[in-house]
Amino acid sequence: MPFKLPIKVYLNEDEIPRQWYNLAADLPSPMLPPLGPDGKPLTPEALSAVFPMNLIEQEVSQERWITIPEEIIEMLYRWRPSPLKRAVYLEQALGTPAKIYYKDESVSPAGSHKPNTAIPQVWYNKKFGTKTITTETGAGQWGSALAFSCSLMGLACKIFMVRISFEQKPFRKIMMQTWGGKCIASPSTETEAGRSFLKKDPNTPGSLGMAISEAVEAAVTDKSGTTKYSLGSVLNHVLLHQTIIGLEAKKQLQKIGIKKPDVVIACAGGGSNFGGLAFPFVADKIAGANIEIIPVEPASCPTMTRGIFTYDFGDSAGMTPLLPMHTLGHNFVPEPIHAGGLRYHGMAPLVSQTIVEGLATPRAIQQTECFKAAILWANTEGMIIAPESSHAVAATIQEALKAKEEGKEKVILFNLSGHGHMDLAGYSKFLEGKLTDWELPQANIEAAEQDLKDLPKAKMNKTGKW
Ligand SMILES: Cc1ncc(COP(=O)(O)O)c(C=O)c1O
């Protein structure tokens, strides 16, 4: 049967969204605040040791729309607007009546959605007078994106990379170095936190939680006062910057006469590409639209589907504020699965609250099903995708097959968060039959409950919600 065109939907540069969307303005219940070590709500000033004030203002903003400075848009033109594509070849292979559309975020210079927030974060830091930015990176995507953005604006960049990924992905380190970044395996001996993690376990594979502790410490102990820390996911301002994905997708679907998708899917590690694609559609759902919204995580790191919704630290050493989120406990060290960017114990508070409010329904999938989906994708659509993104593709395939069973012509929209050109070691292991599935034992959840029992609870707020 001939294809019904178009397969690719582009926007002109002058159609790029001029404002980011802030879901906090529309959530049915107000967001719970971050708490300090004393259990009291943090003031913006208390965050200023770590972040510049202009980004803290975005972090706590209740404004629905926040204007994107023109200078940022001019930098984003390098790859934005990103294409919306229809996965017709996959649809044919599955024999599904569903129409599968995806935002292709792999087209950015660093190969993922991460520069959508790296560029604004570096821009606001530069305006504030920051000279050096520290950060952590899991799979290396965020570190590359920040190094790239710092190189555009002349800031120094120091990246603590989770040791297991540092070893699995040497080319990511070279990308960071090419853009002038300094990349260090974490835990390292450079920080107090790193030394203490190594003392506990000299062979630890590392985790995002540990690397965050190191990067925060490196920023707050710098004597010049011009070093700040930057986070690639989890926080409100990061998800805000990523909403450019969903806002573009809406315009692109409208261009081809689709009023709304029936299902929206993205993988979620800290929640930024999911929030970026989904939040503009969550707004429609709050306004009454019937849309199923699915964040997808690995079954071996089931933060959203089996974690506890409570206050927890964002890092392993307890240096960050306490955030209200789904968590497996800040001491949780995930299995060294190949989707490094999804190995995080917590979740963005905005995503957690979306789940608690019943606006999104999370799903956990095992890594071999995800790699199978990635192989099918490569052999139909062509691209070799990031193992993180394969979680979104696996859930999309599940939904497309369900639509086939039900005989429904559903519109599925998902986010292809990145390419997998630096992830071939994972593909190789899968192809050699060396990758296995792993279900988190219930004992780990009980251990998390123990770790969390003395921390404040995320209590029902004044509106009587949850
Ligand atoms: C390609 C890709 N997708 C997804 C993620 C998960 O992060 P987030 O949940 O913040 O989008 C990462 C994180 O490194 C990534 O590199």
| CATH, residue 101 | 3.40.50.1100
- Does residue 102 have a pLDDT over 60? yes
In a shared domain, residues 325 and 384: yes
Q: Which of 124-128, 185-189, 335-339, 415-419 has the lowest mean pLDDT?
A: 335-339
In a shared domain, residues 222 and 90: no
If one counts the domains in the chain, the total is 2
Q: Is 105 in the pocket of ligand 1 (CB under 6 A)?
A: no
Q: Which of these three, 231, 252, 274, is where a domain ends?
A: 231
Q: pLDDT averaged over the chain?
A: 95
**CA separation for the pair 278, 401 (Å, rounded):** 22
Write down the pLDDT at residue 245. 99
SS3 329: coil
In a shared domain, residues 175 and 318: no
Write down the pLDDT at residue 343. 84
Q: Are strands 292-298 and 182-186 parallel, antiparallel or unpaired?
A: unpaired
In a shared domain, residues 197 and 268: no
Q: Is the peptide bond before 6 cis (omega within 30 degrees of 0)?
A: yes
In a shared domain, residues 247 and 382: yes
Q: What is the pLDDT of residues 30-79, one digit of tens each?
A: 999 999 988 899 998 999 999 999 999 999 999 999 999 999 999 999 99
Q: What is the pLDDT of residues 428-454, one digit of tens each?
A: 999 999 999 999 999 999 999 998 999
Mean pLDDT of 398-426: 97
In a shared domain, residues 223 and 357: no
Is residue 25 situated within a structural domain? no
**CA separation for the pair 219, 309 (Å, rounded):** 29
As a 3-state breakdown, the chain gives helix, strand, coil percent values, each rounded to 5, of 45, 15, 40
In a shared domain, residues 189 and 320: no
Q: What is the pLDDT of residues 279-298, one digit of tens each?
A: 999 999 999 999 999 999 99
- The pLDDT > 90 percentage for the chain reads 88
Q: Which of these three, 231, 249, 272, is where a domain ends?
A: 231
Residue 1 has which token pair? 């049967």
In a shared domain, residues 189 and 106: no
Q: Which of 52-61, 124-133, 340-349 has the lowest mean pLDDT?
A: 340-349
Is residue 464 situated within a structural domain? no
Q: Is the peptide bond before 81 cis (omega within 30 degrees of 0)?
A: yes
Q: Is 389 in the pocket of ligand 1 (CB under 6 A)?
A: yes
Q: Is 138 in the pocket of ligand 1 (CB under 6 A)?
A: yes
Nearest CA to ligand 1 atom 15: 341
- Does residue 5 have a pLDDT over 90? no
In a shared domain, residues 245 and 388: yes
Placement of tokens 């002038």 in the chain: 180
Question: What residue type is assigned to position 445 of the chain?
Answer: I
Is residue 119 situated within a structural domain? yes
Q: Which domain holds residue 425?
A: 8-18+70-111+237-452
57 alpha carbon – ligand 1 mean position (Å): 24
The length of the chain in residues reads 466
Which atom in ligand 1 lies closest to the alpha carbon of residue 342?
Answer: 6
Q: Which of these three, 185, 200, 231, is where a domain ends?
A: 231
Is residue 255 situated within a structural domain? yes
In a shared domain, residues 399 and 316: yes
Q: Is 233 in the pocket of ligand 1 (CB under 6 A)?
A: yes
Write down the pLDDT at residue 129. 98
pTM score: 0.96
- Does residue 461 have a pLDDT over 70? no
Residue 201 has which token pair? 């376990």
Is residue 47 situated within a structural domain? no
Q: What is the pLDDT of residues 169-186, one digit of tens each?
A: 899 999 999 999 999 999
